Structure 1
């Protein structure tokens, strides 16, 4: 091999090696962000979404979802009825093929779901609920709450739960007997014994609680904060 050919070959080899060394390496693909469902029932009723699931290939491109509610001790907290499913991707509403009042089949996707819960907390939204195709779901709204374990037996034996500060505001206005109904967080008495959610109050937030008795007596418990997962037998 001629000397000039050797020099040319070596020069080309150096350029190839340098090019390989300087070529940028591909960055690893970013992990897919996990979608976490949350609940929105206003500032007082908080909690999480718990899901049980199993595969069902017979659903094909659909998912099956049934809705329940529970409080922090795992007990039922009232029936849950899904009202609408809005896709977080397209913004359009998707119709569920209801098999029961509490759920049915729907196209797989990620949804904001408006639901009604028996009694309080009433209507709210499950946000970013991901339903994958070929999957059956039991979806539980787990409310952060305490359970009232007071025996309400007769007419006039009631408990009214309001946001903290309600007593002071309406006492100053001279309107303690005319507090707006929309401020009521919960109302507990003997007539709603069968609706479990009615026996719950939000935990971890200050409340003003008005207790009436069948003999006409009444009392306020101001700035009362219930402990999560507790049973309330009296207010102190």
Structure 2
């Protein structure tokens, strides 16, 4: 396993739709969809997010998941195929600008996760040894690293997956994904899990939703006390 100070090198494995709209709606008539605001939101593209799956380069090939929008998914896909093709984009121009200043991109590292967002640090180094760190989104850091042909790492503890005893058959990737999905997407994921009779996964989603609601209530109470 390739590690550097508890850093694990990753690569993009797949970029897939997080929610398959048509599978979710395939047993409903158009009138039923029109009568349900949530289903209409799904049909109109409200949930068209993509799941970005990063894979550890070496054994045991652990996974990390992120959520990106369709435009980001398209750009990232093109960056994987040919980084030079995206020369008009901000990540590409960032790398070019840094090179003009004498900096090279040394690495990108996912350092931690705050709520549903992965925080990523881009490390730049000048010939005289000067180092500069730049905070970026997971998506921007990935594209910059690809353009600069620099390694992309994640802190090892972020790859650990905690699972309840009752859900031993639920794949790690599903567990990580549901803990990153927004609350409204979790409710839709629950609907799909029940339809597919994936009851262990459905129970995990149910508990995740309950935990999120408790956290929200506690946050509201804390804010009220501050006010």
TM-score by length of 1: 0.24
Identify the structure with the greater helix proportion. 2
Structure (1 or 2) with the greater strand fraction: 1
* Higher-Rg member (1/2): 1
